[in-house]
Amino acid sequence: MLDIHLLRTDLIKVLNGLSSRGFQPTEDLKKLMEERGSIRINTQKLEETRNKTAHNVGRLRSAGYDMSDKEIISLLDQTKKIPKQLKDAKKKLGNIENKLNQLLDVIPNLPHDTVPKDGKNKEVRHWGTEKTSGSFSFPVKDHVTIGEGLGLLDFRTATKLSGARFSLMVGELARLHRALAQFMLDTHTQEHGYTETYVPYLVNAESLHGTGQLPKFEEDLFKIPRKKCESEESKTDKGLQEENWYLIPTSEVPLTNCARNEIVSLESLPIKLTTLTPCFRSEAGSYGKDTRGLVRQHQFEKVELVQLVHPLKSYEALEQLVGHAEKILQKLELPYRVMLLHTGDMGFSATMTYDIEVWLPAQNTYREVSSCSNCEAFQARRMKARFRNEKGKPELLHTLNGSGLAVGRCLIAILENYQNADGSVSIPEVLRPYMGGIDRLKHREK
C-alpha cells in the first residue's frame, strides 16, 4: 500500500510512477479522498457533540440530579437525534472508506528512480562461463531426457497421481533434490547469518494481503475453504462469512508476516529469516507455457530469504541479499547472470528487483532461479510492521525478500550443466557430503 499522505500531497508524481509500470487508477482518487475528508469531519463533529452531552449528563447524575430533572431532560432533548444521524454518517463514511481501500489495495508499489523504464531488463553482472552445445563432446540433452533416461524422474506417474505440472523424483535424484535444499539452508544459516524458521504452509487471507498477493492475485493461489458454521441460515453476519486458508505461493508470505502488527526493537534489526518450504501456484493463465519438465510446477521447493530492516539500510540490504543468493550458484559452480528488472517486469510490491538467472545449456538460455526485491515500506504499511526508531517512535520497517534459491530449477541446472557423455550426471563438489559421498547419478537399478 502506498502512503496516503504521498497520494494527497503529490498525486502527480505517484501517477507518473505508476504509469511507468502500466498502472492506471480506475477512479478519481483525488475526489474520493476529498469526499472522505469532509464526511469524516462531519462524523467526528457529531461524535464530539454526543460525547460532550453524555459527559454533562454524567456530571449532573453524579452531582445528585435525577433523570427526570429538567436540566437533564433538556440535555437529552438536544442529543436524542444524534445516534440516528451518527449512524447514517458512519455508514456513509464506511462505504467511502471501503471504496478507497479497495482502490488502494490494488495499486502497485512505486519503482525506485534508478529502475529502467525503457522496457528492457539490464544485465548487472554475470558469473562463470556458459557451456554451449559446442562445449560438450556429445549432443546436449535437457533435464527431462537426462532424468527419465536415468530412471530417476517420472512424469507419467506424477500425472497419474495428480495431473499436469507435478513431478515425481525417485532414488538418488530425490536425494539430490533434498541435498540441494539442505545445502542452501546450511549456507544461509551458517555463513550469511539467517535464522532458520519452520513456517505454516497454509496461511490466512490477511497474511496474503500483507505481502500483496491479495486481493489482486487470488487466481494464482490454491484456496482451501474452511468450514465456519454448520447452518446455512446463520451465515448472515459479516463475521461469519467464509474464511479461507491458502497454500503459500512462496514462504515470503509467512516469513514477512511474522512482523505483522508488531513493533520490534531497534536493536533487533536487521531481522534475517530463512526457511525451506514447498510453494504452491495455480499457474492460471500460463497454459501451454513451460509444459515440459520441472520448470513450471504447481508445487515446488524453495529456500526463501527475508530481511526486515531499518529504512535507511534497505538498499544496502538488497545488494547483500542478492549476494547471498548468488553465493549458492557460485558454490555449485553454475554460470549465472544478475538482471535488474525494468518497471514493467517487477512484482506488485517491489520498488526494485534483481533476478538471478542460471545458465541452462539444453535451452541455450538463462532461466530465473531467484527474484530478490526491496519492497521498502509497501508491505510493512499493509501489515503494520514497525520498529521503535532512534526517537522511540514506531516507524514502518522496510521488507526484502528473495529466493535463495528455487530448488527444482536449480536441480535442472545441475542436471544439464553436469551431464556426462554416458548419460550420468556428476554431482557438484559441495553437495557430495550431503550425498553420502557419491560423485555421480547413475542409471537406477531396479
89 vs 332, which CB is nearer to RNA?
A: 89
Instruction: Give the β-pairing of 394-396 and 386-388.
Output: antiparallel
Alpha carbon distance 179, 116 (integer Å): 37
**φ/ψ of residue 143, rounded to 5:** -65, -30
**φ/ψ of residue 123, rounded to 5:** -75, 125
Alpha carbon distance 141, 188 (integer Å): 32
Which residues are 213's β-sheet partners? none
**CB 397, min distance to RNA, A:** 12
**Of residues 328-357, those binding RNA (CB under 7 A):** none
Answer for which of 13, 30, 52, 292 binds RNA (CB under 7 A) is 52
Tell me which stretch binds RNA (CB under 7 A): 158-166, 235-243, 329-337, 402-410: 235-243
47 vs 218, which CB is nearer to RNA?
A: 47
Question: Hey, what's the cell of 337?
Answer: 547472470
Report the first-to-last Cα separation within the chain, whole angstroms.
Answer: 55
**CB 419, min distance to RNA, A:** 39
**Of residues 60-119, those binding RNA (CB under 7 A):** 61-62, 67, 76, 79-80, 82-83, 87, 94
- Across the chain, which distance is largest between two alpha carbons, in Å? 105
Tell me which stretch binds RNA (CB under 7 A): 146-154, 233-241, 275-283, 320-328: 233-241
Q: Are 307 and 316 in contact (CB under 8 A)?
A: no
**CB 58, min distance to RNA, A:** 3
**CB 64, min distance to RNA, A:** 12
Answer for which of 16, 51, 101, 365 binds RNA (CB under 7 A) is 51
Q: Are 315 and 373 in contact (CB under 8 A)?
A: no
Question: Hey, what's the cell of 197?
Answer: 524458521
**CB 29, min distance to RNA, A:** 14
Tell me which stretch binds RNA (CB under 7 A): 42-50, 324-332, 422-430, 432-440: 42-50
**CB 166, min distance to RNA, A:** 24
- Count interface residues toward RNA (CB under 7 A): 36
Our finding on whether 433 is near RNA (CB under 7 A) is no
- Binding pattern for the stretch 365-394 against RNA, x by CB under 7 A and - elsewhere: ---------------------------xxx
Our finding on whether 237 is near RNA (CB under 7 A) is yes
Our finding on whether 5 is near RNA (CB under 7 A) is yes
Our finding on whether 224 is near RNA (CB under 7 A) is no
Q: Degrees (nearest 5) of the Cα angle 381, 318, 392?
A: 45
Alpha carbon distance 55, 64 (integer Å): 15
Alpha carbon distance 53, 79 (integer Å): 7
Q: Degrees (nearest 5) of the Cα angle 161, 164, 168?
A: 50
**φ/ψ of residue 167, rounded to 5:** -140, 155
Binding interface with RNA (CB under 7 A): 5, 37, 40-41, 44, 47-48, 50-55, 57-59, 61-62, 67, 76, 79-80, 82-83, 87, 94, 228-229, 234, 237-240, 392-394
